[in-house]
Amino acid sequence: MVLVLVIGDLHIPYRSNGLPGKFKKLLVPGKIHHILCTGNLCTKESFDYLKTLASDVHIVKGDFDESTTYPEQRVVTVGQFRIGICHGHQIVPWGDMESLGMLQRQLDVDILIFGHTHKFEAFEREGKFYVNPGTATGAYNALQGNVTPSFVLMDIQSTTVVTYVYQLINDDVKVERIEFKKPA
């Protein structure tokens, strides 16, 4: 069992004061093996916080990040899965299935992680898995002010990824489970 935290679009301190307390209680050091972040951490302090949760942190540059050292996209291998990460502001129109599919093929990945829309999504398409963790802080976006805070934990076991999405709805943490099996 390998636990991967997928998180992004924190926008601290510009659009949010921080992670919800109920999420902070769930995200404890020593449990998570890898962190894949879709960017828009905005500050070094947010990066430092993620480093307290896991030593293996992969971040791509969001359109509001102060750091210029994050790459636009990145590919990491976790177990038997090649995972691509991009912020998502490069996908035009934002979240477009055809554009996401094109990026998935360019990166040659089994799973594509993307963000920018601040809305959780997870779906399988043509034998590949796509995940948008949403915004862990509930930061507003250009299109909506009332956004549901969310993040994703992926449990990678051999050729299966069990994805748990955590959403803060009416001050309660709701968890949904989604399973993806890598085609043979």
Q: Give 99's pLDDT tier (boundaries 50, 70, 90).
A: confident
Distance CA 14, CA 91 (A): 23
pLDDT at 145 over 80: no
pLDDT at 111 over 90: yes
Q: How many CB atoms lie within 10 A of CB 138?
A: 22
Both tokens of 88, joined, read: 């998502």
Check residues 6 and 44 and name the one with the higher pLDDT. 6
Q: pLDDT per residue over 81-93, tens digit each?
A: 999 999 888 777 7
Distance CA 104, CA 99 (A): 9
Return phi, psi of residue 84, to 5°.
-100, 145
pLDDT at 71 over 80: yes
In a 3-state reduction of DSSP, which class is residue 78? strand
Q: What is the mean pLDDT of the chain?
A: 91
Distance CA 97, CA 124 (A): 11
**Residues 99 and 93: beta-carbon distance below 8 Å:** yes
Q: What pLDDT was estimated at residue 155? A: 97
Mean pLDDT, range 2-18, rounded to an integer: 90
Q: What pLDDT was estimated at residue 140? A: 78
75-79 LR contacts (CB < 8 Å, sep 24+): 75/107, 75/108, 75/109, 76/34, 76/36, 78/2, 78/4, 78/34, 78/156, 79/2, 79/156, 79/157, 79/158
pLDDT at 17 over 90: no
Check residues 71 and 145 and name the one with the higher pLDDT. 71
Q: How many CB atoms lie within 10 A of CB 166?
A: 22
Q: Is 48 left (phi over 0), alpha (psi -120 to 50) or beta?
A: alpha
